[in-house]
Amino acid sequence: MTTLFVRHAVSDYRTWRKVYDTFSAIQKANGVTAEAVYQAIDNPNDVTVTHEFATLEAAQAFTKLEELGEAMRNGGVVGTPTVWFTSKV
């Protein structure tokens, strides 16, 4: 199992969350088996998202989806996200 972590700033959490919640079907269609959203305690617009995949290749392919980039822009992501992959041991 591979977990994709994405940390980014958003201009407004509520706006971002609405877009994120409508993206669920695309997540599932592209291999996401579980997901979670976290906010920094001192800044609700500092968001970290995790997505689990069966393989690293599926996780990497997901990060390259045009729909994902569009959703991030529509959700108000600010700057360049920090992205990393992990595997459960």
Residues 13-61 pLDDT 10s: 999 999 999 999 999 999 999 999 999 999 999 999 999 999 999 999 9
Mean pLDDT of 5-20: 97
Q: Does the pLDDT of residue 88 top 90, yes or no?
A: no
pLDDT category at 4 given cuts 50, 70, 90 is very high
Classify residue 31 as left (phi > 0), alpha (psi -120 to 50) or beta: left
- Distance from the first to the final alpha carbon of the chain: 9
CATH of domain 2-87: 3.30.70.100
Q: State the virtual CA torsion across 27, 31, 37, 38 in degrees, nearest 10.
A: -140
Q: What is the DSSP letter of 46?
A: E
C-alpha distance from residue 81 to each of 10, 26, 28, 69, 76 (Å): 10, 20, 21, 11, 12
